[in-house]
Amino acid sequence: MFNTDQIEKFKTFSTPFYYYDLDLLKKTLETLKASCDKYGFMVHYAVKANANKKILSIISSYGFGADCVSGNEVKRAVECGFDAQKIVFAGVGKSDKEILSALKLGIFCFNSESLQELEVINSLAEKENKIAQVALRLNPGIDAHTNKKINTGLSDSKFGIDFNKLEEIIAFVQGLKNLKLIGLHFHIGSQILDLEPYKLLCERSNELQKKLSNLGLNLEVINLGGGLGIDYYKPEKNSVPDFEKLFDLVHSNLNVKDFQKVHFEFGRSIVGQCGTLVSKVLYTKPGEGVDFAILDAGFTDLIRPALYGAYHKIENITSQALENGVYDVVGPICESTDVFAKARSLKKTKRGDLIAFYSAGAYGEIMVSGYNLRDFPEIYYSEN
Ligand code: LLP
């Protein structure tokens, strides 16, 4: 997927490194913007997927909001040009310090998922002499049919408040004078490719909106969360996700009143395909039935395969060999789980070859760790 000039340039970079294709990022953002405009939907970019400052600044320049899950993400988003009035602050455990700093910055809304937290936000807002806008994160009891480690919408998940308790929670929030309830928030999981669960989510939302109307409540925000998946198998073919397909489905299935706005919080689908991790082969050695390709990148640089058993397309981008070999592609870390792929077919591989891991723009760089006191990967962009 890289041309000869790019590969020649890569040979001069120190490895391992993340490489971001900013043109692809911009193309993705333009497509997303056009799809949002078609239906008047609002997207908050999920900063957790990639908080690289250059990337955040590009995303904010398109007018999108930011979905943050820590006080530092809120600060980073503001620093990179996101309007505080377009920042939502979610997360199952926000500390007092984080809540306070977000209140001071005047963010748009707290997505809250427990009664205790609502009480804390209320009392901190009272001290600050502010009214905090809140949306309730409800657990809709829907299976997103994705990797069970990133599935969040079922009743045994730590996320959200049971949707059956809506009336109870509303009565509770109405007693908290420094809160203004403005919406409902859902997020059923990540890397969702079969859109059927979103249809069920729309139906659940419609049901809950009906209950709200009966209570005489008109909440202006319906936030359906993130989760739209990307094609890890054919990134070259499907480099820009089909936002419009999801939006069409939501438009046809979600009841939205004139005063209401539909929000999404996409992370992976915005940044996933624009990032590649490039690593160098340190050694090869024979194993049982396959050879090992031992790279200078390990799970400290890209943890998704080790943590979730996630698949990334892997390619030897410098080998001139005409034949393929079968490799266990592994890292240098002193842990047996430091394996990127088992029995993967790659062009015949030797020491010094460059190996690309595609679709690494989301939950790649941001999940880098310093385990084994390893260096952090370098970062390069298509423009330099
Ligand atoms: N909103 C909420 C409340 C979330 O928890 C998440 C992701 C998102 C939005 C963004 O979801 P996305 O559009 O990126 O699917 N590290 C894992 C993914 C964890 C997702 C956590 N929550 C991975 O590498 O697959």
All residues at 6 or more sequence positions from 66 whose CB lies less than 8 Å from its CB, including other chains: 44, 45, 47, 56, 60, 73, 74, 77, 82, 86, 87, 88
For the CA of 111, the closest atom of ligand 1 is 3
pLDDT at residue 384, as a whole number? 55
- As a three-state string, the secondary structure of 106-154 is CCCEEEECCHHHHHHHHHHHHHCCCCEEEEEEEECCCCCCCCHHHECCC
Q: How far is the CA of 112 from the centre of ligand 1 (A)?
A: 16
pLDDT on residue 210: 94
Return the pLDDT at 163: 85
Evaluate: CB of 374 within 6 angstroms of ligand 1.
Answer: no
Instruction: Report the pLDDT value the prediction gives residue 268, as an integer from 0 to 100.
Output: 98
Q: Which two tokens stand for residue 111?
A: 């997505």
CA distance 366 to 28: 20
What pLDDT was estimated at residue 13?
98
Give the number of other CB atoms < 10 A from CB of residue 196.
13
Residues of the chain under the 50 pLDDT cut? none
Question: Do residues 44 and 264 make contact, with C-beta atoms less than 8 angstroms apart?
Answer: yes
Of ligand 1's listed atoms, the one at least distance from the Cα of 225 is 1
User: Distance from the CA of 49 to the center of ligand 1, in angstroms?
Assistant: 7
Which H or E run includes 20? strand 17-20
Backbone angles phi, psi at 278, to 5 degrees: -115, 130
CA of 354 from ligand 1 middle (Å) equals 29
226 lines ligand 1 (CB under 6 A): yes
Distances (CA, A) of 299 to 29, 291, 334, 338, 370: 29, 19, 10, 6, 10
Q: What is the DSSP string of 357-371?
A: E-S-TTTTGGG---G
> Which pLDDT value is given to residue 146?
78
Is 359 close to ligand 1, i.e. is its CB under 6 Å away?
no
SS3 state at 266? coil
The confidence score (pLDDT) of residue 154 equals: 67
CB 116 within 8 A of CB 93: no
User: Which residue's CA is the nearest one to ligand 1's atom 5?
Assistant: 187
Place of tokens 């880098």: 368
- Residue whose CA lies nearest to ligand 1 atom number 20: 190
The predicted structure's pLDDT at residue 148? 75
Distance of CA 201 from the midpoint of ligand 1 (Å): 17
Q: Distance between CA 303 and CA 240 in Å, rounded?
A: 23
- Helix/strand/coil for 282: strand
Sign of the alpha-carbon dihedral angle for 111, 247, 251, 141: negative
Q: Which two tokens stand for residue 192?
A: 């969702």
